[in-house]
Amino acid sequence: MAGQSFIVQGGVPLKGEITPQGAKNEALQILCAVVATAEEVVVENVPEIHDVLRLIDILEAMGVEVHKKEKGVYRDWETDRKSTRLNSSHSAKSRMPSSA
């Protein structure tokens, strides 16, 4: 997939449904994308692993209200961004310790 890209051009509202595979990298991308809309979004099959939960913490620190509906299901990504800056503790917690 190296070298592939998407071109997004405005003017046409996006709508529809996708079925995520439950993979970490896919979930991280989807969670970041849903904050760009004011519409209600339900994201299912979210793997509740360290990286994903840290991203949710970071989004909440930025003022995004994340509502857990049930295990692996999140909804209503209400955005009231209080800040676009994070303190260093958020980035430090997202890094896994390296083995020596």
Tell me the whole-structure pTM to 2 decimals.
0.66
Q: Under 8 Å CB-to-CB from 49, ≥6 apart: which residues? A: 24
Element (H, E) at 53: helix 50-61
Strand ranges (E), the chain: 42-43, 64-70, 73-79
Environment class of 88 (CB within 10 Å of its CB; exposed 0-12, middle 13-18, buried 19+): exposed
Confidence label for 56 from pLDDT (cuts 50, 70 and 90): very high
- Separation of alpha carbons 50 and 62, rounded Å: 18
Average pLDDT, the chain: 76
* Total residues found in the chain within this entry: 100
